[in-house]
Every structure is written in C-alpha cells, then in structure tokens.
C-alpha cells in the first residue's frame, strides 16, 4: 500500500508503535540503571561511563540513519522488526557478559536499535492517522520512551534482584534478561503496524517534495538538540546520582524513576491534546520551564527537598511531566516533511540533532572531574532546558505560525 494513500484509522497502530518504542527504550536506558552494578563488577569509573555514553550516542546516530533508510525502502514494519531483533541481541550480550567489553558491545547494540525508533514510530502517526488526529497519535506514541524508562527502573529495582536471589546469577544479568524478554514480547505489536511501502524511490532526496519546510526543521532542530542534551545529561546519570551520591537504596531509586516515567507518560498524553489546541511553542515552553525548575531543585535544593514530605518526589514528578510535554516536537516535524519521506526524514532530523550528545558528554565528564559530583549533570540539563526555549521565541517574533497554531500541527 502506498504511504500517501494509507488509511487513516484507529489508534491501534499508535499503541503498537508505543509498545515497540517502550521495549527499545528500556533496552537503551537499562545501561544507565546498571552503572552502579557494572562499575564495581568490571572496575569502571565515571570517566569510563562518559566515554561509553559518547560511543553509544554516536552509534545511535548511525542506527537512526540506517534504520530510517530501511523504513524508507521497506516500510516501518520491517524497520521496527530490525529494532527489536537488535535490541534483544544487545540485552542477551549484557546478560552473558564476562567482561566490560562484552557489556559495552551489548550497550552499543541497544543504542543502534534505539537510534531508529523515534523517527520510524512517529512516522506511523502520519501513515495511520488523519492530519487532525496526528498530534494525539504522536502523544500516544511518545508514551513509549517513558514507559520503557519505567520498565527499566522496575526491572532493575525489583526483577533483577529477585532473579539474583532465586538463581544466584548476578543482578545485572537478571535485569538484562528481563528486558530481553520484554523485547521479544513486544514483537507481537509489529502486526498492528500498517504494512506500507514508501511512495518515493530509495534514492530520492528527503529534502524535497510538497510540504518540505527547511526553515521549520532548522529552528525546531536547534530546540530539539538542546532538549536532547537536557534529557540525556540528566537521565544518563540520574540513577547513579541517586544511588551513590544521594545514598538511596535500589528500591527507592527505582521507585523515584518510575514516578518520573509515569508523570512523563501523563505529560505525553496531555501534551498531544494540548498541542492540537494551543500549538507547539506554548506547550514546549511550558514543558521546558517545568523540567528546568524540577532539575534545579533536585540538584541544588536536595537537603530541603529531602526534609520535606514528598519534596523529592514532587520535584522529579514535575521534571517528568515537563519532559512529557516535549511530545510537541513530533507533529511539528511531521508537518514539515513530505509524507512519503517522513520515516527517513524524522530519523535524519532527530539523529543530526543527537550529535550534540557527544560534546555534552565530554563537557559533563570535565565538570565531574572538576567538581567530583554528578550534580553538575542536572545543572547542565536545566541550563539546556532554558536555552531550548530561545529558538521558539525567535520563531514567534518572526510571526512563524507553524509554531503557534494548533491547526497547523
């Protein structure tokens, strides 16, 4: 079926895409949750993990471009099958790792798979939904990453230790096996993805066709790059920060991260509807402010938060909800790329913006060396949140309605 002529029907495809995204994201972010275990087990330091993160984000870029190309040639269903197969292999590599190298390879495989998830799953919103429903569908699909984050936190906090107690295997192995099982189960959702073939030829340029808006992609891409720096500078390190520097137990750390993820899901659902009514700029700005405030309080007001009933939970809940509102990105990008090239185009834009992770992780490692604390990671994230609002402000000052009017999304 031609992608441009695909039926615009039920929410089943959006829920299926969210399920696949959740499994792939859980595989990717699991590495951050396992750092307190992998560090002592294989003699790895914060500097080592910073180097790992740089390699992983670079691999995610490659994976995003490669899987986006597969989606363009063979459709999103095939591409998402590759995602889950690769993510499962990465988890099995970590589960069987007897060296840091084997664990590193497993994380690279998960990063490669994760890289192609966002653009491909968000393209499903365009293929299977009418223009007026795409913002809501994008919000549903965007619940995948926080759901995956919640799964990774829950598996690491409870299932991994339970497997260790029952079988005697190390906790990190049980966690990796749990996520591998989730990836296998998620493969059933592929059957709900529309079986389409792209209308454009594989050699056609993504930057062509009616509906392509270069300026909209550049302005949005700047904000997206800063948003991703904010997200990963905090969440690549938050589990280790809470467990080691704040002294929280594994269950307490996992519970807090599940709370963040649940509020992010709420933000995704609310954000998808809010974009359709108030537009991308207003929703994204609100989310960025909430994240900046929540992370700043967590980083620099911890004693006061910890002394207040629910203080830490409230700050992290606000952070999660604000991150959920970032779902506003997907429909805006989809509007600026021709439908026949949307899977490859979204993957390209997202992974070009992801390049910012490489200098961000280098800067974070330097800040840790200077301060000896991962609090600097949260501070850097808050700063990036504040800066990410600027591109939308510039767009608004030039009366670019694509960022203000919900009926354009």
Radius of gyration of the chain (CA): 20
CATH code, domain with 16: 1.20.1250.20
In a domain, 2, yes or no: no
* Domain membership flag for residue 202: no
Any domain includes 51: yes
Return d(Cα 276, Cα 235) in angstroms, integer.
28
Q: Is the dihedral of CA 19, 153, 271, 384 positive or negative?
A: negative
Eight-class DSSP state of 2: B
Distances (CA, A) of 104 to 21, 33, 231: 22, 14, 22
**Structural domain includes residue 57:** yes
- Across 59-98, b (16+ Cβ under 10 Å) vs e yields bbbebbbbbbbbbbebbbbbbbbbbbebbbbbbbbbbebe
Q: CA-CA distances (angstroms) from residue 264 to 134, 170, 174?
A: 19, 30, 26
| Relative orientation angle of helices 342-353 and 214-235, to the nearest 10 degrees | 50
The helix/strand/coil state of 197 is strand
Examine residue 139 and state whether it is found in any structural domain, yes or no: yes
Tell whether 94 is covered by a domain.
yes
Question: In the prediction, which pLDDT does 2 show?
Answer: 42
Residue 199: inside a domain? no
Report how far residue 170's alpha carbon sits from residue 328's, in angstroms, rounded to the nearest whole number: 40
The β-bridge partners of 2 are: 197
pLDDT at 124: 76
Question: CA-CA distance, 328 to 347, in Å (whole number)?
Answer: 16
Domain interval for residue 245: 8-194+212-408
Q: Tell me 129's DSSP state.
A: S
Q: Full-prediction pTM beyond 0.85?
A: no
Q: Residue 392 has what pLDDT?
A: 65
The answer to whether position 68 is within a domain reads: yes
Split into its structural domains, the chain has a count of: 1
Query: pLDDT truncated to tens, each residue of the chain (409 aa)?
Result: 444 444 444 578 888 999 999 999 999 999 989 988 899 999 998 889 888 988 998 898 899 889 988 888 888 889 999 999 999 999 999 999 999 999 999 999 999 999 888 778 877 766 655 566 666 777 778 788 889 989 998 998 888 777 777 777 888 999 999 999 999 999 999 988 877 644 443 434 444 445 556 666 777 778 778 888 888 878 788 888 888 888 888 888 888 989 998 998 898 878 767 877 777 778 888 889 999 999 999 999 999 999 888 899 999 999 999 988 876 666 666 666 666 666 666 667 777 777 887 888 888 888 888 888 888 888 989 998 888 888 766 655 554 444 444 433 3
């Amino acid at each position: 079926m031609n992608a441009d002529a695909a039926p615009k029907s039920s929410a089943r495809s959006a829920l299926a895409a969210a399920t696949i995204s959740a499994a792939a994201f859980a595989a990717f972010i699991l590495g951050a949750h396992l750092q307190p275990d992998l560090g002592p087990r294989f003699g790895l330091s914060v500097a080592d993990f910073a180097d790992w993160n740089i390699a992983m984000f670079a691999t995610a870029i490659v994976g995003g471009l490669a899987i986006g190309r597969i989606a363009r040639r063979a459709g999103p269903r095939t591409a998402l099958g590759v995602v889950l197969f690769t993510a499962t292999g990465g988890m099995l590599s970590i589960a069987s790792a007897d060296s840091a190298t084997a664990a590193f390879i497993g994380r690279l495989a998960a990063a490669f798979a994760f890289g192609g998830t966002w653009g491909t799953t968000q393209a499903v919103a365009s293929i299977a939904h009418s223009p007026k429903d795409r913002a809501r569908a994008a919000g549903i699909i965007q619940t995948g990453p926080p759901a995956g984050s919640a799964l990774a936190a829950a598996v690491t906090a409870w299932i991994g230790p339970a497997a260790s107690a029952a079988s005697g295997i190390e906790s990190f192995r049980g966690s990796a096996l749990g996520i591998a099982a989730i990836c296998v189960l998620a493969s059933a959702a592929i059957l709900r993805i529309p079986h389409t073939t792209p209308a454009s030829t594989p050699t056609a340029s993504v930057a062509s066709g009616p509906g392509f808006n270069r300026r909209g992609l550049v302005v949005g891409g700047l904000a997206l790059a800063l948003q991703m720096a904010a997200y990963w500078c905090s969440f690549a390190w938050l589990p280790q920060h809470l467990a080691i520097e704040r002294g929280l137990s594994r269950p307490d750390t996992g519970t807090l991260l599940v709370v963040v993820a649940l509020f992010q899901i709420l933000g995704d659902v609310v954000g998808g509807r809010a974009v359709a009514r108030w537009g991308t700029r207003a929703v994204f700005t609100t989310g960025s402010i909430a994240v900046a405030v929540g992370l700043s309080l967590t980083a620099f007001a911890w004693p006061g938060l910890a002394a207040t009933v629910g203080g830490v939970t409230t700050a992290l809940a606000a952070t999660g909800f604000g991150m959920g509102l970032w779902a506003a990105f997907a429909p805006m990008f989809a509007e600026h790329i021709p439908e026949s090239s949307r899977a490859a185009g979204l993957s390209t834009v997202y992974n070009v913006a992801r390049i910012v992770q490489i200098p961000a992780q280098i800067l974070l490692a330097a800040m840790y060396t200077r301060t000896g604390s991962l609090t600097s990671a949260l501070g850097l994230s808050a700063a990036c949140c504040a800066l990410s609002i600027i591109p939308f402000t510039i767009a608004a000052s030039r009366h670019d309605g694509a960022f203000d009017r919900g009926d354009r999304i």
